[in-house]
Structure 1
Amino acid sequence: MAKEFNVPPVVFPSGGNPSIGPQQRRVPTVPFQPPRPVNPNLPFIDIGSAAPSTSFSIPPYGGNGVGFGGSGFEDELPLLEELGINTRQIWRKTVSILNPVRINASLHEDADLSGPFLFLMAFGLFQLLAGKIHFGIILGWVTVASLFLYVVFNMLAGRNGNLDLYRCLSLLGYCMLPIVIFSVFSLFLPQGGVVIFAMGAVFVLWSTRVCTRLLVELASCGDEHRGLIAYACCLIYMLFSLLVIF
């Protein structure tokens, strides 16, 4: 038979937990203290009436400044120019390469690699459309060809040669434009025919003439060895034309 226990009911006082008396309650910590009353004796500071300092003044909205003393959006350069890609300069250099009779060498005084990289990627893309994956070969051959042309030119020019590797790579890449055009025409020509060989010879001579002219005019002591420089350029562009033909 189960025993029954008489448990008296627990009654809590209205003040909360009976184990904590009024003297044992915790004082609120600093982050939870109520805000102190404002002293009426302190002077009132009007922010709107204070004159702004010249060093920390904020230009009005819609003015020439943006943010805290920054330049306006109209003064900012385009994103491509901030990255070092001048599209107008690339277009002018491309147009100068398309005219092998009248070449403006002054446009190529400022060397860049943006245009050559676009031409090399376009050349690899057209080779890919022909069923040939040559991206790695093209980039590797351009690097080796630039080193080869740089060494040959400076050996011929001697101590007075001022052709650097960066300019050599830029000129060699821009003069790849006729070979890129040849890769476009090769998509519509039968492989191994006489026509594609004749067209390849024309485009190789085009690239050779342009590259030799630019190297001789932009680098010193190259006019005396124009024939040898043209021979080196012809070997380089003939190598790239063989990728298109075969």
Structure 2
Amino acid sequence: MWQDSSYASSSSQSPYYAQQQHQQNLQFYSPSPSDGSLYPGSRPSLEGSMGAQGNISNGGVPAYGGNIQSAGGWWTAFGTGGFEGEPPLLEELGINFSHIRAKSMTVLNPLSRVDERIMDDADLAGPILYVFCFAIFLLFAGKPNFGYSYGVGLFGSMSIYLLLNLMSEKGIDAYRVTSVLGYCLLPMVGIGAVSVMITLDGMFGYLLATISILWCTYSASGIFVAVLRMSEQRLLVAYPVGLLYGCFALLSVFSGK
């Protein structure tokens, strides 16, 4: 016991042992890097890529660069303005009222020349609007046929899409087929509006429905023929299209009760 305590006291007083212990304690500390980072191996500053510039001499508060717009009130959420260079919301949604108007006027004036590039900017905003209006008019007339309207439209679009791709060499996608059939439903929407005011289950209604079917069929077949360059096959295109619009006419004339 006495030897151990004396050995420990002599060792603690030894200058060599004290120097060795001091070197071991210094291993827990590392000198600060010259680049100012917190620890060795850290990533360089993101000052250039992130646009944020930290300035220690500025009271320790980093100064951020860039063009940041000030936030307005809650009413700015309903405005049409946005960030600089950002496209309008309607353009991002694919809604162009000028194109919708041009295609609708082409359907309403079927005797005019149809441009073969009219469906380069195909959209479904107009067709969805017309199908919805058609179903709403039937609802007001006491004919709640929403399911039949959507079902006939979907099945008819798929059938016409398959037939056109089998008949033409150029081919057409289902998106444009649906767009053409939806826009050419516009005369049938007028029949639905008339059915709200008067009953079409009579001679006048049959005549009006026949005219509407011919109108829709002539417009749709004209657009398909112009886009696919099938001028010699217009009657073959018009036949299945006429059957599709005939189903919509049956929904407008008869109540189904």
User: What is the TM-score normalised by the length of structure 1?
Assistant: 0.68
Q: Which position in structure 2 is the counterpart of 1:233? A: 241
Looking at structure 1, the residues matched to 248 and 108 of structure 2 have their Cα atoms a distance apart, in angstroms, of: 18
Q: 1:61 to 1:136 in 2, by over 3 A?
A: closer
- Contact 1:103–1:210 (8 Å) recurs in 2: no
User: What is the TM-score normalised by the length of structure 2?
Assistant: 0.66
Q: Secondary structure at the match of 1:108?
A: coil
Q: Which position in structure 1 is the counterpart of 2:79? A: none
Looking at structure 2, the residues matched to 61 and 232 of structure 1 have their Cα atoms a distance apart, in angstroms, of: 56
1:130 and 2:138 matched:
no
Looking at structure 2, the residues matched to 60 and 167 of structure 1 have their Cα atoms a distance apart, in angstroms, of: 41
Shift of 1:198: 0.9
| CA RMSD in angstroms, aligned pairs only | 2.5
Identity %: 35
Q: Which position in structure 1 is the counterpart of 2:155? A: 144
The partner residue of 2:118 within 83, 104, 107 is 107
- Contact 2:200–2:206 (8 Å) recurs in 1: no
Shift of 1:74: 5.2
The partner residue of 2:203 within 189, 194, 197 is 194
Structure 2 unaligned spans of 5+: 1-55, 71-81
- Contact 1:109–1:218 (8 Å) recurs in 2: no
Q: Which position in structure 2 is the counterpart of 1:95? A: 105
| Residue correspondence of structure 1 range 59-74 to structure 2 within 5 A | 59=67, 73=83
**Equivalent residue letter for 2:104:** T
Q: 1:153 to 1:107 in 2, by over 3 A?
A: closer
Shift of 1:60: 8.0
Q: 1:103 to 1:122 in 2, by over 3 A?
A: farther
- Contact 2:127–2:183 (8 Å) recurs in 1: yes
Shift of 1:148: 1.3
**Equivalent residue letter for 1:45:** S
Q: Secondary structure at the match of 2:200?
A: coil
Looking at structure 2, the residues matched to 83 and 233 of structure 1 have their Cα atoms a distance apart, in angstroms, of: 29
Aligned residues between the structures: 187
Q: Secondary structure at the match of 1:132?
A: coil
**Equivalent residue letter for 1:228:** L
Looking at structure 2, the residues matched to 230 and 104 of structure 1 have their Cα atoms a distance apart, in angstroms, of: 16
Looking at structure 2, the residues matched to 103 and 183 of structure 1 have their Cα atoms a distance apart, in angstroms, of: 27
1:78 and 2:79 matched:
no
Looking at structure 1, the residues matched to 201 and 147 of structure 2 have their Cα atoms a distance apart, in angstroms, of: 24
Q: Secondary structure at the match of 1:208?
A: helix
Looking at structure 1, the residues matched to 245 and 218 of structure 2 have their Cα atoms a distance apart, in angstroms, of: 11
- Contact 2:114–2:222 (8 Å) recurs in 1: no
1:209 and 2:232 matched:
no
Structure 1 unaligned spans of 5+: 1-43, 63-71
**Equivalent residue letter for 1:218:** V
- Contact 1:93–1:107 (8 Å) recurs in 2: yes
- Contact 1:150–1:165 (8 Å) recurs in 2: yes
The partner residue of 1:182 within 186, 191, 194 is 191
